[in-house]
Structure 1
Amino acid sequence: MLKFAIIGAGAGGQSMAAILTSKGYSAKLYDIDKEKIRRLQELKAIKVTGVIQCEAQPAVITDSIEEVMTDVDVVMIVSTTDAHGSIAAQIKPYLKDGQIVMLNPGHCGGALEIAHVLRGENGCGKDLIIAEAGDLMYGCRSYEIGNILHTGLKVHVPVATLPAGDVTKLLEVLGPIFPCLKPAANVLETGFEGAGAMLHPIPSLMNVNKMDLGESYDYYMEGITPHIADIISACDKERVAVCRALGVDALDLISMLTKTYKLEKKDNLYDLIQSIESYKALRNPTNTKHRFIVEDTMSGLVPLASVGRSLGIATPMMDSFINIASAVCGRDFWTEGRTAEKLGLAGKTAAEIQDMVR
C-alpha cells in the first residue's frame, strides 16, 4: 500500500489524511501550526461528514518536516499557495527517486515554481513526478479542528505533470485512489484554467464594506449578486483570453463549474452559482488576510495578468482588482505575487512556453 505525506492540515489536508487512512493507506499529516497539530494529536480521530463520511486517525500527526517525509511514496501538498516555494525548499533534502510531489491545487504556476526549486541549479537531483491539480479534490470546510464537512462531490478535477508526459504514470498510481482526477494537457491548463482567481478575490473585495462592519453573510449565495457575477464574468473573459494566447483551450467559468459539479448548464453565472449546493452556507472572509484575498490575488490574478501582459494581452479588469487588493491589504501584490518573471515565462513566446511544459 502506498504511503502518503500530507503537507498542510487545513480542511483539505485533514480530509485527505482521514479518507486515505480509512481506506487502509498510511497517511502522515504535517502542519507548521504547532497548536493545530497539538489539538489534532489529542483527538481520537478526524471526523469527515456530509457527502463523504469517515472517521480515522492518521498514522502520524506532526509539525516535524523530517518525520512526515520519512518513508513515503507520495507527497501531497495541501497548503496555501503562497507556501509552495518554501515547502519545496523544506522537503528537498528528504526527497528520493520515484516519489510523487503533487500540489492540491497548484493555482497559476505552482508546478513551475516548485520545479524551479527542486530541479533548478540547486535542486535535489532526484527523479520525481511533479504534478498539480487544477482544484482541491474536495468541496469541504471546517469550523472546528478535526471536524470536516463535505458539501459537494467533485467528479472532474484536472491534473497535469511537468513534463506533461508523466501524467500517465501519475494516474496509474493515483487514479484508482482519486477517481475524480482527469488528465489535462499540461500545467498551463491546470494552472491558468482555475476558478479561484475569479470566484474568491473579486466577491471578497466587492463586499469589503461588510467585512469592515463585521457583518456575516453567505459568501456565494448573498455575496455574489447578479451585478457582481457580471463583473466576475467580465474578468473571466480576460482569463480565457490569456489562456487562449498560451495555446490553452480554456473553458469559460460557467462551462467549467458545470463540468466540475456535473450540473445543468445555466445561461448566466449568477443563476449557476445559486444552483451549486456545495456553495451554500459558506461564510464570508472576516479580515483582509484571508486566503480568498491574499492567496488568490498573489497566485491567481497576478500570474494571469502578468503573463497576459508579457504576451500582449490586455487585462484591465484583473489589473484593477490587483490594485484594489494591494490598497485594501496595504501590500504590493504586483511585487509579492507570482509574476511571469518568477515563473520563468517573461519574454518568452507562447510557443516557447509550450515547449517548457511539454
Structure 2
Amino acid sequence: MLKQIAVATAIGSILLSGSLLAKTLTVGFSQIGSESGWRAAETSVAKTEAEKRGINLKISDAQQKQENQIKAVRSFIAQGVDAIFIAPVVQTGWEPVLEEARDYDIPVFLLDRGITVDDDSLYMTSVAADSVHEGEVAGNWLIDKVNGKKCNVVELQGTVGASVALDRKAGFANAIGKVSNVKIIRTQSGDFTRSKGKEVMESFIKAEDNGKNICAVYAHNDDMAIGAIQAIKEAGLKPGSDILIVSIDGVPDIFKAMIAGEANASVELTPNMAGPAFDALIAYKKDGTMPPKHITTESKFFEPADAPAQLELKKDMGY
C-alpha cells in the first residue's frame, strides 16, 4: 500500500512539474456566442491554443444571454473542471455564481471583457485589450483625418452593459473631447452584430438628411461597421469617402472593405485571449504562481495600405 501511495505521489509530482500538467487539465469556456467574425475567431483560436497545450476544452455558446452563461458555469462546476473561462456578456450580476466556483476551488479567468464585483478575488485574472485605448486611437485618427474641419459622428455602440462597449465609448469620447470640431450627434447600440448595425445606421441616415449631415461612423466593432457600410451604399452614398468609417477588431471583412475603398481604419483586437489565460493557469497549477490581476493584450492600428497583408495574415488566425 505504501509503495502504491509513493508511486501515485511521484506521478502527481511529474504531472505538476511540466508539460504533462496541461494534458491533465479540463477547462470550461463560457463563450458569449458568435455574434461577430472576431468572436468566432476567438473561439477557434481558443481551441487551437488548448490543443497546443494538451488541454481538454469544453465550450458553451451562450447566444449572447447572461442567463445561459450562468447555467454553463454551474454545469462546469458540477463537472469538476480545473478552471472556468468566461467571456462575460455584461459586467454585472456575476457574484453568486462566481462564489459557487470559489466554494469548489475552481479558478475563474475572464477573457476579453471585464466584470464589476465588490470582491475581485472571485476571479483570478482578466485577459483583455485596453478598450479605452482602442477608442482613443480611433478618435485620434479621426481628429487627424478631418484636420480641423467640422465632423458630425454617429456611434454604433456594442451590447448595452458590456465592459468593452463602455470602455470603447469612453476612450473615443476622451479623444474627441480635446477638440471642438468633432462631435457625436447620434449614438445607439448595434449589439455588436452586422444586421443590427445596418438597422441602426439606416435610422441614423434617415434622421440626418439622408446621411448628408454625417461625416463619420465610429463603430465599436467591425461587424457593425460592415452593416453600416451596407446601409450607406443603399442610401446612395459612398462609404469611405462621403462618410468615413472607423471601427475596432481587425477582422477580414473590414480589410476587404478597405481594399474596396469603403472603410478607412480599424484598431485590431487580437482573438488570442485564451493563450495567455492557459499559460497563467498552467503556472498556477504547477507551483501556485499567481498571475497579475490584468493581462493586457496588444492592439494595433491599420489603414487601407495595410489591408492586403493583414487579410493574408488573418487566414492563419482562425478567421
TM-score > 0.5 by shorter chain:
no
Higher relative contact order (CA 8 A, sep 6+): 2
In terms of fraction of residues, the more strand-rich structure is 2
Q: TM-score, normalised by structure 2?
A: 0.33
Rg: which structure is higher?
2
